[in-house]
A and B are shown apart, each in its own frame.
Chain A
Amino acid sequence: MTEVADSYLEDINNDVCPICKTDKYLNSNMKFLINPECYHKICDSCVDRIFSSGPTKCPYQGCEKILRKNKFKSQIFEDISIEKEIDIRNSIVKIFNKTEKDFKTLEEFNAYLEKIEEIIYNILNGVQVKETNEYIANYKQENSKSIHQNNINIQRQHDIFLKIENKKKLINDEKQKLSKQLIRELQNDKKIANQQITNNLLNSSLDTNLIVENARKNLLKQSSARRKKYIEQTKLLQEKFMSQEDLEMMNYSNPGLPGFRKHRLMQQQATMMSPFSPFNGDRSVNLPFEVEEEYFDPYTSNVIKDAQYLAGGIRVEQIYKKSLFEAFFGLDCIIKEEKSA
Chain B
Amino acid sequence: MSDIAANYTKEKKVGEGTYAVVYLGKQVKTKKLIAVKEIKTGMFKDGLDMSAIREVKYLLELRHENIISLLDVYSSENGNLNLVLEFLPCDLEVLIKDKNIVFQQADVKSWMLMILRGVHHCHRNYILHRDLKPNNLLISPTGEIKIADFGLARSLGSPGENLTANVVTIWYRAPELLFGSRHYTSSVDVWSVGIIFAELMLRTPYLPGTSDAEQLEVTFRALGTPTEKNWPNVSKLPWYNSLKIYPPPTRNELKNRFIAASGSALDLMISLTQLDPAKRCSCEEALQTVYFTEFPRPTKPKDLPKKSS
Using a CB–CB cutoff of 8 Å, the interface residues on chain A facing chain B are 272, 276, 278-280, 282-284, 299-300, 303-304, 306-315, 318-319, 322, 325-326
Interface residues of B in 253-301 (CB under 8 A from A): 276-278, 280, 284, 287-288, 292-293, 297
Complex contact B159–A311 (CB within 8 A): no
The 14 sampled A-B contact pairs (Cβ below 8 Å) are A276-B292, A278-B292, A303-B160, A308-B182, A309-B159, A310-B278, A311-B236, A312-B184, A313-B176, A313-B187, A313-B276, A314-B185, A322-B156, A325-B126
Distance, CA A284 to CA B125, complexed state (A): 11
Q: B64: which A residues are within 8 A, CB to CB?
A: 282
Smallest beta-carbon distance A173→chain B, Å: 20
Say yes or no: is B78 at the interface (Cβ < 8 Å to chain A).
no
Q: B176: which A residues are within 8 A, CB to CB?
A: 311-313
- The stretch that binds A, out of B51-59, B88-96, B226-234, is B226-234
Distance, CA A293 to CA B297, complexed state (A): 39
Distance, CA A290 to CA B159, complexed state (A): 21
Say yes or no: is B237 at the interface (Cβ < 8 Å to chain A).
yes
Q: Which one of B124, B159, B181 has the greatest number of beta carbons of chain A within 10 Å?
A: B159
Q: B179: which A residues are within 8 A, CB to CB?
A: 311
Distance, CA A306 to CA B181, complexed state (A): 12
Contacts A279-B120, A299-B159, A319-B159 given; does A311 touch B234 at CB 8 Å:
yes
Complex contact B232–A272 (CB within 8 A): no
- Nearest to B288 among chain A residues (CB) is A278
Interface residues of B in 163-198 (CB under 8 A from A): 176, 179, 181-185, 187
Complex contact B184–A304 (CB within 8 A): no
Say yes or no: is B26 at the interface (Cβ < 8 Å to chain A).
no
Complex contact A313–B288 (CB within 8 A): no
Shortest 10 CB-CB distances between A and B: which pairs?
A313-B277, A307-B236, A311-B233, A307-B233, A278-B287, A312-B183, A312-B181, A312-B184, A313-B278, A303-B159
Distance, CA A272 to CA B294, complexed state (A): 11
Q: B126: which A residues are within 8 A, CB to CB?
A: 322, 325-326
Q: A304: which B residues are within 8 A, CB to CB?
A: 159
Smallest beta-carbon distance B58→chain A, Å: 14
Say yes or no: is B40 at the interface (Cβ < 8 Å to chain A).
no
Complex contact B181–A280 (CB within 8 A): no
Q: Which one of A279, A313, A325 has the greatest number of beta carbons of chain B within 10 Å?
A: A313
Complex contact A278–B293 (CB within 8 A): yes
Smallest beta-carbon distance B131→chain A, Å: 18
Say yes or no: is B113 at the interface (Cβ < 8 Å to chain A).
yes
Contacts A276-B293, A278-B292, A279-B287 given; does A308 touch B160 at CB 8 Å:
no
Contacts A272-B297, A304-B159, A307-B233 given; does A313 touch B280 at CB 8 Å:
yes
Complex contact A315–B237 (CB within 8 A): no
- 5 more A-B contacts (CB under 8 A) besides A311-B234, A311-B236? A278-B288, A282-B64, A308-B183, A312-B176, A325-B126
Smallest beta-carbon distance A275→chain B, Å: 10
Complex contact B232–A312 (CB within 8 A): no
What is the interface size of chain B, counting residues whose CB is below 8 A from a CB of the partner?
36
Using a CB–CB cutoff of 8 Å, the interface residues on chain B facing chain A are 64-65, 113, 117, 120-121, 124, 126, 156, 158-160, 176, 179, 181-185, 187, 231-234, 236-237, 276-278, 280, 284, 287-288, 292-293, 297
Q: A284: which B residues are within 8 A, CB to CB?
A: 124
Q: A326: which B residues are within 8 A, CB to CB?
A: 126
Q: A280: which B residues are within 8 A, CB to CB?
A: 65, 117
Smallest beta-carbon distance A8→chain B, Å: 32
Q: B156: which A residues are within 8 A, CB to CB?
A: 322
Q: B277: which A residues are within 8 A, CB to CB?
A: 312-313
Q: B181: which A residues are within 8 A, CB to CB?
A: 308, 311-312
- Nearest to B280 among chain A residues (CB) is A313
Complex contact A308–B117 (CB within 8 A): no
Distance, CA A279 to CA B277, complexed state (A): 23
Q: A307: which B residues are within 8 A, CB to CB?
A: 233, 236
Q: A318: which B residues are within 8 A, CB to CB?
A: 185
Smallest beta-carbon distance A265→chain B, Å: 11
Q: B288: which A residues are within 8 A, CB to CB?
A: 278
Distance, CA A307 to CA B236, complexed state (A): 6
Q: B231: which A residues are within 8 A, CB to CB?
A: 311
Q: A313: which B residues are within 8 A, CB to CB?
A: 176, 184-185, 187, 276-278, 280
Contacts A284-B124, A309-B183, A314-B185 given; does A278 touch B159 at CB 8 Å:
no
Q: Which one of A276, A284, A306, A311 has the greatest number of beta carbons of chain B within 10 Å?
A: A311
Smallest beta-carbon distance A289→chain B, Å: 14
- Nearest to A280 among chain B residues (CB) is B117
Contacts A276-B292, A279-B117, A312-B181 given; does A299 touch B236 at CB 8 Å:
no
Smallest beta-carbon distance A189→chain B, Å: 24
Residue from B117, B233, B280 in contact with A310 in the complex, judged by beta carbons closer than 8 Å: B233
- Nearest to B160 among chain A residues (CB) is A303
Q: A319: which B residues are within 8 A, CB to CB?
A: 158-159
Contacts A303-B159, A304-B159, A312-B184 given; does A278 touch B113 at CB 8 Å:
yes
Distance, CA A314 to CA B280, complexed state (A): 12
Smallest beta-carbon distance B126→chain A, Å: 6
Smallest beta-carbon distance B272→chain A, Å: 14
